[in-house]
Amino acid sequence: MTISNAVLSALRCPKCGAAVSFDGRSLFCTGARRHCYDAAASGYINLAPEHRAGGDSREAVRARSAFLGRGYYADAADAIASLAEKYLADRANPILVDAGCGEGYYTNRLAECGTVCGFDLSRAAVEAGAKAARRRGIDAFYAVAGLYNLPLFEESADLVLNHFAPCAEEEFSRVLRKDGVLIVGAAGETHLLGLKRVLYDTPVLNAPRADLPCSMRLLEKRRVQKTVRIEGSADIAALFAMTPYYYRTSEADRAKLAALDVLETEIDVELLVYGRQNGKDDR
C-alpha cells in the first residue's frame, strides 16, 4: 500500500493528534507514544482499532455494493462530482474527504476531482471501498475512523462529503479550510416512496434531516429526482437492506416486498452545499 504525501500531511494521529509517517506497512505517529496502525493487505488502515462493533454489517455492505453497482444512484454520483468540480475549480491538488463513506461508491468517483480520503467505522465497508479502488486503478486513501474524530489536522480539507451518514458539523468545520465546502446528502421527501408504498398502508413523506448544519452557510441546494425500475428480487432485497426500514418492518410487511419481481420507486436525493463560515463570522 502507498499513501501520497498530500494525504500524509493532512493525517494526524487519532489518539494524540501528532503528525504521522508511513513505512509501507504501518502508520506511525510522531508523538511521544509512537502510536502505530497497521495497513491491511486489502489496502486500508484501521485508525480506530479499539472500535469493535458499530458501522454497517458485512451483509448490509454487500447489499449496498450490489445495488449501487447497478447504477440506480448514478445521477446522484454525477451531481456530487459536478458540485465538487464547481467548488474546487480554482484549487491546486484539493483534498476531499468522504465522511461516512460506506463502501466508497461516491469516494471512488470523487477521486477524479483531487486527492480523496474515505473514512467509515465499518471495517467491512472500508475494505470494500479499498478493494474496489484497487480493482479499478483508482488512487483513494481509505481508513476505518469515526467521523466525530476525523484523523485530520485543522483546515486540511477542501471538501467534505457527508452522504446519508451522521453529520458532525463541528468536526467537519474543524478539518475544512476556511474556504472549504461541505456537501450533505439527504433523502428528499419522496425518496423511496414506491418502496414504502409496498411496505406500508399509509406511507408518509420523509421529513427533512434533523442534523443539518446550523452554523455553516448554505451556498446551494441541488435535487436529484427520478423514478427507477428495479428488476429482480435480489436487487429489490438489496435496496431494502440498505434502508432504515429494513430494521423496523414487520415480517408480514416484508413478505409483500419479497413477493415482487419489479419495483418502481422514486429516488429523491437532496444535496446541500455549505461554506465553512457563516456570513457573520467571515473575516
Q: Which residues bind Zn ion (CB under 5 A)?
A: 13, 15-16, 18, 29, 31, 35
**In whole angstroms, how close is the CB of 255 to ligand SAM at the nearest point?**
24
Residue 147 CA to residue 190 CA, distance in Å, equals 27
Least CB distance from residue 157 to Zn ion, whole Å?
20
149 near 125, Cβ under 8 Å? no
176 binds, among Zn ion, ligand SAM, none (CB under 5 to 8 A by kind): none
- CB under 8 Å to 169, separation ≥6 — which residues? 211, 213, 214, 215, 216
Taking CB under 6 A as the binding criterion, the range among 102-110, 133-141, 172-180, 222-230 that sits at the site for ligand SAM is 102-110
The whole-angstrom separation of Cα 118 and Cα 22 is 18
Q: Kindly determine how many residues on this chain lie close enough to bind ligand SAM according to the rule CB under 6 A.
A: 18
CA 267 to chain centre: 18
Which of these segments, 4-12, 17-25, 87-95, 142-150, binds ligand SAM (CB under 6 A)?
A: 142-150
Q: Does 71 bind ligand SAM (CB under 6 A)?
A: no
Of the pair 112, 281, the CB lying nearest ligand SAM is at 112
Min separation Cβ 205 and Zn ion, Å: 46
Query: Least distance from C-beta 33 to Zn ion, angstroms?
Result: 5
Residue 35 touches which member of ligand SAM, Zn ion, none, C-beta under 5-8 Å by kind? Zn ion
- Quote the CA–CA distance of 263 and 274 in Å, as a whole number: 34
Of residues 151 and 275, the one with the C-beta less far from Zn ion? 151
235 binds ligand SAM (CB under 6 A): no
Residue 117 · residue 100 · CB < 8 Å: no
Contact string 6-45 vs ligand SAM (x = CB under 6 A): ----------------------------------------
Nearest CA to 1 out of 21, 23, 18 is that of 23
Of residues 149 through 188, those in contact with ligand SAM by CB under 6 A are 163-166
Between residues 98 and 158, which has the closer beta carbon with respect to ligand SAM? 98
Query: Is there binding between residue 102 and ligand SAM (CB under 6 A)?
Result: yes
Between 146 and 275, name the residue whose CB sits nearer to ligand SAM. 146
Largest Cα–Cα distance of the chain, in whole Å? 60
148 binds ligand SAM (CB under 6 A): yes
Q: How far is the CB of 4 from ligand SAM (least distance, A)?
A: 22
Asked if 100 interacts with ligand SAM (CB under 6 A), we say yes
Positions that interact with ligand SAM (CB under 6 A): 55-56, 100-102, 105-106, 120-122, 125, 146-148, 163-166
